[in-house]
Structure 1
Amino acid sequence: MSFTGKYELQSQENFEPFMKAIGLPDDQIQKGKDIKSTSEIVQDGKKFKFTVTTGSKVITNEFTLGEEFEFTLPTGQKAKAVFNLEGDNKLVGTMQGMTYVNELNGDIMTSVVTMGDIAYKRVNKRI
Protein backbone atom coordinates (compact mmCIF):
# COMPACT_ATOMS: atom_id res chain seq x y z
CA MET A 1 0.00 0.00 0.00
CA SER A 2 1.36 3.41 -0.94
CA PHE A 3 1.09 6.43 1.35
CA THR A 4 1.28 8.76 -1.67
CA GLY A 5 -1.58 11.26 -1.68
CA LYS A 6 -2.99 14.43 -0.21
CA TYR A 7 -4.81 14.26 3.12
CA GLU A 8 -6.97 16.73 5.03
CA LEU A 9 -7.19 16.87 8.82
CA GLN A 10 -10.58 15.58 10.03
CA SER A 11 -10.02 15.58 13.80
CA GLN A 12 -7.30 15.79 16.43
CA GLU A 13 -6.93 15.00 20.13
CA ASN A 14 -4.51 16.49 22.72
CA PHE A 15 -3.23 19.20 20.35
CA GLU A 16 -2.75 21.86 23.03
CA PRO A 17 -1.00 19.75 25.70
CA PHE A 18 1.31 18.16 23.12
CA MET A 19 2.31 21.44 21.46
CA LYS A 20 2.92 22.96 24.89
CA ALA A 21 5.10 19.96 25.83
CA ILE A 22 7.31 20.38 22.73
CA GLY A 23 7.71 24.10 23.43
CA LEU A 24 5.38 25.83 20.97
CA PRO A 25 4.45 29.30 22.34
CA ASP A 26 0.88 29.74 23.63
CA ASP A 27 -0.01 32.33 20.97
CA GLN A 28 0.96 29.92 18.18
CA ILE A 29 -0.94 27.08 19.88
CA GLN A 30 -4.08 29.22 20.00
CA LYS A 31 -3.68 30.25 16.34
CA GLY A 32 -3.03 26.69 15.17
CA LYS A 33 -5.62 24.72 17.10
CA ASP A 34 -8.57 25.50 14.83
CA ILE A 35 -6.76 25.70 11.50
CA LYS A 36 -7.35 22.74 9.22
CA SER A 37 -4.15 21.37 7.82
CA THR A 38 -3.30 19.29 4.79
CA SER A 39 -0.56 16.71 4.43
CA GLU A 40 0.92 15.67 1.13
CA ILE A 41 2.96 12.49 1.00
CA VAL A 42 5.07 11.24 -1.87
CA GLN A 43 6.41 7.71 -1.45
CA ASP A 44 8.94 6.36 -3.92
CA GLY A 45 9.97 2.94 -2.68
CA LYS A 46 11.90 3.57 0.56
CA LYS A 47 11.99 7.36 0.08
CA PHE A 48 9.31 9.60 1.58
CA LYS A 49 8.53 13.29 1.36
CA PHE A 50 5.99 14.69 3.85
CA THR A 51 4.72 18.26 3.39
CA VAL A 52 2.35 19.57 6.07
CA THR A 53 0.60 22.88 5.43
CA THR A 54 -1.16 24.59 8.34
CA GLY A 55 -2.42 28.02 7.37
CA SER A 56 0.61 29.79 5.89
CA LYS A 57 3.12 27.51 7.68
CA VAL A 58 4.66 24.74 5.56
CA ILE A 59 6.97 22.05 6.96
CA THR A 60 8.61 19.51 4.65
CA ASN A 61 10.53 16.44 5.80
CA GLU A 62 12.26 14.01 3.44
CA PHE A 63 13.73 10.69 4.50
CA THR A 64 14.68 7.17 3.49
CA LEU A 65 13.39 4.27 5.57
CA GLY A 66 15.95 3.00 8.08
CA GLU A 67 18.27 6.01 7.72
CA GLU A 68 18.72 8.75 10.31
CA PHE A 69 17.73 12.24 9.14
CA GLU A 70 16.93 15.69 10.54
CA PHE A 71 13.21 16.05 11.22
CA THR A 72 11.69 19.54 11.49
CA LEU A 73 9.30 19.85 14.45
CA PRO A 74 6.29 22.23 14.50
CA THR A 75 8.44 24.60 16.59
CA GLY A 76 10.95 24.81 13.73
CA GLN A 77 13.55 22.93 15.81
CA LYS A 78 15.39 19.99 14.28
CA ALA A 79 15.54 16.50 15.77
CA LYS A 80 17.31 13.33 14.64
CA ALA A 81 14.79 10.71 13.56
CA VAL A 82 14.59 7.24 12.02
CA PHE A 83 11.47 5.80 10.39
CA ASN A 84 10.67 2.25 9.35
CA LEU A 85 7.72 0.52 7.74
CA GLU A 86 5.83 -2.15 9.71
CA GLY A 87 3.79 -4.27 7.37
CA ASP A 88 2.68 -2.30 4.34
CA ASN A 89 0.53 0.35 6.04
CA LYS A 90 2.29 1.49 9.24
CA LEU A 91 5.14 4.00 9.34
CA VAL A 92 6.88 4.07 12.74
CA GLY A 93 9.51 6.55 13.84
CA THR A 94 11.46 7.67 16.88
CA MET A 95 12.89 11.12 17.56
CA GLN A 96 13.93 13.21 20.54
CA GLY A 97 11.96 11.27 23.18
CA MET A 98 8.92 10.82 20.93
CA THR A 99 7.45 7.93 19.01
CA TYR A 100 5.45 8.48 15.84
CA VAL A 101 3.03 5.97 14.34
CA ASN A 102 1.34 6.76 11.05
CA GLU A 103 -1.16 4.11 9.94
CA LEU A 104 -3.04 4.05 6.64
CA ASN A 105 -6.35 2.19 6.36
CA GLY A 106 -7.99 2.81 2.98
CA ASP A 107 -8.44 6.58 2.68
CA ILE A 108 -7.98 7.25 6.42
CA MET A 109 -4.54 8.00 7.83
CA THR A 110 -4.22 8.06 11.61
CA SER A 111 -1.12 9.60 13.15
CA VAL A 112 -0.24 9.29 16.85
CA VAL A 113 2.78 11.06 18.30
CA THR A 114 3.57 10.08 21.88
CA MET A 115 5.82 12.02 24.23
CA GLY A 116 5.86 10.84 27.83
CA ASP A 117 2.22 10.39 28.84
CA ILE A 118 0.80 12.68 26.11
CA ALA A 119 -0.51 11.09 22.92
CA TYR A 120 -1.36 13.55 20.15
CA LYS A 121 -3.71 11.93 17.63
CA ARG A 122 -4.61 13.22 14.16
CA VAL A 123 -7.11 11.62 11.80
CA ASN A 124 -6.73 12.61 8.12
CA LYS A 125 -8.77 11.67 5.06
CA ARG A 126 -7.39 11.32 1.54
CA ILE A 127 -8.73 14.05 -0.73
Structure 2
Amino acid sequence: MNFSGKYQLQNQENFEPFMKAIGLPEDLIQKGKDIKGVSEIVQEGKKVKLTITYGPKVLHNEFTLGEECELETMTGEKVKTVVKMEGDNKMVTTFKGIKSVTELNGDTITNTMTLGDLVYKRVSKRI
Protein backbone atom coordinates (compact mmCIF):
# COMPACT_ATOMS: atom_id res chain seq x y z
CA MET A 1 0.00 0.00 0.00
CA ASN A 2 1.29 3.47 -0.85
CA PHE A 3 1.07 6.13 1.88
CA SER A 4 1.57 9.10 -0.51
CA GLY A 5 -0.77 12.04 0.05
CA LYS A 6 -1.57 15.04 2.23
CA TYR A 7 -3.37 14.44 5.49
CA GLN A 8 -4.84 16.94 7.97
CA LEU A 9 -5.15 16.24 11.67
CA GLN A 10 -8.77 15.55 12.67
CA ASN A 11 -8.37 14.70 16.35
CA GLN A 12 -5.80 13.62 18.90
CA GLU A 13 -5.77 12.00 22.32
CA ASN A 14 -3.31 12.60 25.19
CA PHE A 15 -1.36 15.34 23.35
CA GLU A 16 -0.44 17.39 26.42
CA PRO A 17 0.63 14.57 28.78
CA PHE A 18 2.65 12.86 26.01
CA MET A 19 4.44 16.05 24.94
CA LYS A 20 5.28 16.81 28.60
CA ALA A 21 6.65 13.27 29.00
CA ILE A 22 9.02 13.66 26.02
CA GLY A 23 10.25 17.02 27.26
CA LEU A 24 8.54 19.52 24.96
CA PRO A 25 8.46 22.98 26.65
CA GLU A 26 5.06 24.06 28.07
CA ASP A 27 4.78 27.11 25.77
CA LEU A 28 5.19 24.91 22.67
CA ILE A 29 2.65 22.41 24.02
CA GLN A 30 0.09 25.19 24.50
CA LYS A 31 0.79 26.62 21.01
CA GLY A 32 0.61 23.20 19.37
CA LYS A 33 -2.39 21.62 21.05
CA ASP A 34 -5.06 23.25 18.84
CA ILE A 35 -3.19 23.32 15.53
CA LYS A 36 -4.64 21.06 12.87
CA GLY A 37 -1.26 20.01 11.48
CA VAL A 38 -0.79 18.75 7.94
CA SER A 39 1.36 15.73 7.06
CA GLU A 40 2.58 15.20 3.52
CA ILE A 41 3.95 11.80 2.60
CA VAL A 42 5.72 10.96 -0.66
CA GLN A 43 6.44 7.26 -1.00
CA GLU A 44 8.37 5.84 -3.94
CA GLY A 45 8.85 2.14 -3.37
CA LYS A 46 10.79 1.82 -0.08
CA LYS A 47 11.83 5.50 -0.01
CA VAL A 48 9.62 7.76 2.10
CA LYS A 49 9.69 11.55 2.53
CA LEU A 50 7.59 12.92 5.38
CA THR A 51 6.88 16.60 5.98
CA ILE A 52 4.79 17.57 9.01
CA THR A 53 3.67 21.20 9.36
CA TYR A 54 2.42 22.47 12.73
CA GLY A 55 1.86 26.20 12.28
CA PRO A 56 5.37 27.71 12.00
CA LYS A 57 7.15 24.40 12.83
CA VAL A 58 8.03 22.15 9.91
CA LEU A 59 9.54 18.71 10.43
CA HIS A 60 11.23 16.97 7.46
CA ASN A 61 12.23 13.31 7.59
CA GLU A 62 13.40 10.99 4.81
CA PHE A 63 14.03 7.30 5.19
CA THR A 64 14.20 3.98 3.37
CA LEU A 65 11.98 1.27 4.82
CA GLY A 66 14.04 -1.45 6.52
CA GLU A 67 17.28 0.60 6.63
CA GLU A 68 18.81 2.58 9.48
CA CYS A 69 18.10 6.30 9.24
CA GLU A 70 18.25 9.48 11.26
CA LEU A 71 14.91 11.07 12.12
CA GLU A 72 14.16 14.41 13.75
CA THR A 73 11.74 14.10 16.66
CA MET A 74 9.08 16.57 17.80
CA THR A 75 11.60 17.99 20.31
CA GLY A 76 14.10 18.68 17.50
CA GLU A 77 16.41 15.86 18.59
CA LYS A 78 17.96 13.57 15.96
CA VAL A 79 17.64 9.82 16.57
CA LYS A 80 18.87 6.75 14.71
CA THR A 81 16.21 4.12 14.04
CA VAL A 82 14.83 1.69 11.45
CA VAL A 83 11.31 2.14 10.06
CA LYS A 84 9.76 -1.17 9.02
CA MET A 85 6.57 -2.18 7.25
CA GLU A 86 4.23 -4.54 9.10
CA GLY A 87 1.77 -6.07 6.68
CA ASP A 88 0.52 -3.80 3.89
CA ASN A 89 -0.57 -0.74 5.80
CA LYS A 90 1.62 -0.16 8.90
CA MET A 91 4.94 1.63 9.32
CA VAL A 92 6.53 0.89 12.71
CA THR A 93 9.61 2.27 14.46
CA THR A 94 10.99 2.60 17.98
CA PHE A 95 13.27 5.34 19.32
CA LYS A 96 14.12 6.58 22.82
CA GLY A 97 11.62 4.17 24.37
CA ILE A 98 8.79 5.37 22.11
CA LYS A 99 7.04 2.94 19.78
CA SER A 100 5.44 4.67 16.80
CA VAL A 101 2.88 2.90 14.61
CA THR A 102 1.46 4.67 11.55
CA GLU A 103 -1.47 2.83 9.99
CA LEU A 104 -3.24 3.70 6.74
CA ASN A 105 -6.88 2.67 6.26
CA GLY A 106 -8.42 4.14 3.10
CA ASP A 107 -8.16 7.94 3.46
CA THR A 108 -7.37 7.87 7.18
CA ILE A 109 -3.94 7.70 8.79
CA THR A 110 -3.72 6.84 12.48
CA ASN A 111 -0.43 7.45 14.26
CA THR A 112 -0.10 5.91 17.72
CA MET A 113 2.94 6.65 19.87
CA THR A 114 3.46 4.71 23.08
CA LEU A 115 5.88 5.66 25.86
CA GLY A 116 5.54 3.33 28.84
CA ASP A 117 1.82 3.29 29.63
CA LEU A 118 1.18 6.68 27.97
CA VAL A 119 -0.47 6.46 24.53
CA TYR A 120 -0.72 9.45 22.18
CA LYS A 121 -3.01 8.96 19.19
CA ARG A 122 -3.46 11.21 16.14
CA VAL A 123 -6.05 10.64 13.43
CA SER A 124 -5.64 12.47 10.10
CA LYS A 125 -7.73 12.43 6.92
CA ARG A 126 -6.56 12.78 3.33
CA ILE A 127 -7.13 16.28 1.93
Q: Same fold (TM over 0.5)?
A: yes
Normalised to the residue count of structure 1, the TM-score between the two structures is: 0.97
Letter matched to residue 59 of structure 2: I
Deviation per CA, 1:24-52: give whole Å up to 9, x if none.
Answer: 00011001000110000000101101100
Aligned to 1:34, the other structure's residue is in SS state: coil
Q: TM-score, normalised by structure 2?
A: 0.97
Alignment of 1:1-127 (within 5 A): 1-127=1-127
Q: Which is further off, 11-20 or 64-73?
A: 64-73
Offset at residue 74 of structure 1 (A): 1.0
Q: Which runs of 5+ in 2 are unaligned?
A: none
User: Once the two structures are superposed, what CA deviation does each residue of 1:87-112 show, in whole Å capped at 9, x if it has no partner?
Assistant: 11111111111111000000010000
Asked if 2 retains the 8 angstrom alpha-carbon contact of 1:81 and 1:96, the reply is no
Identity of aligned residues (%): 65
Q: Structure 1: how far apart are the matches of 2:14 and 2:31?
A: 15
Give the superposition deviation at 1:55. Answer: 0.2
Report the RMSD for the aligned CA atoms in angstroms. Answer: 0.7
Deviation of 1:66 (Å): 1.1
> How many residues matched?
127
Q: Alpha-carbon deviation of 1:68?
A: 1.2
CA distance in 2, matches of 1:95, 1:45: 23
**CA offset at residue 79 of structure 1?**
1.3
Runs of 4+ residues deviating >6 angstroms: none
Q: Report deviation, 1:71.
A: 1.1
Structure 1 unaligned spans of 5+: none
Q: SS at 2:51's partner residue? A: strand
What residue identity is the alignment partner of 2:10? Q
Distance in 2 of aligned mates of 1:16 and 1:67: 31
Contact residue 80 and residue 96 of structure 1 kept, 8 A: no
**Whole-Å separation in 2 of the counterparts to 1:105 and 1:63:** 21
